[in-house]
Homo-oligomer: A and B are copies of this chain.
Amino acid sequence: MNGIEWMVEAHGCAPESLRDLNTLRRLFNEITEDLKLRRVGETQWHQFPQTGGITGLCLLAESHLAVHTFPEFQSLCLNLFCCVRRREWDFALHLANLVGASSTTVRSVARPYVPAAETSESEPQSADTSLPLGSATR
């Protein structure tokens, strides 16, 4: 049992979409609804006045979701950290549809918050990724 973080970069996006708060809210909604992630409190948004770039931070029961847009470079960076298991999400498809991304790179990185000695014992055997595994208290 351990965490996973997806680090996503999208390029070739439409700058006007990257400056549009509603588009980014929709992106967060699609991710949290599709992956059954539970928000804790209000998502924090900030738009930088000079470029119109937006940062969004969303605190989740399952960890966090963050986005930074760079309209001046037609790009965005996104992080989704899940301390419980979740299926892969098609970031490239959704980002092509929502912000017109022409290329998207997705890296997934293990976040080992459980000591190695405990991981092997508690590693779930089930292939069911629809339910939170592990830290059920979150």
Q: What range describes how many residues of A lie at the interface?
A: 35 or more
A106 near B: Cβ within 8 Å? no
Residues of chain B within 8 A of A33, CB atoms compared? none
Q: Taking CB as reference atom, which chain B residue is nearest A105?
A: B112
Of A24-32, A69-77, A86-94, which binds chain B? A69-77
* B-contact 0/1 string along A49-64, CB 8 Å cutoff: 0110101010101011
Tell me, rounded to whole Å, the shortest Cβ–Cβ distance linking A43 to chain B: 9
A30, B1: Cα distance in complex, Å: 31
Most B Cβ at <10 Å: residue of A5, A55, A81, A114:
A55
Cross-chain contact of A53 among B70, B112, B138 (Cβ < 8 A): B138
- Whether B59 and A59, one on each chain, are in contact in the complex, defined by CB atoms closer than 8 angstroms, is no
Residues of chain B within 8 A of A68, CB atoms compared? 63-64, 81, 83, 113
Q: A40-B46, A41-B44 are in contact. Are A73 and B111 (CB under 8 A)?
A: no
Q: A44-B41, A59-B55, A68-B81 are in contact. Are A7 and B5 (CB under 8 A)?
A: yes
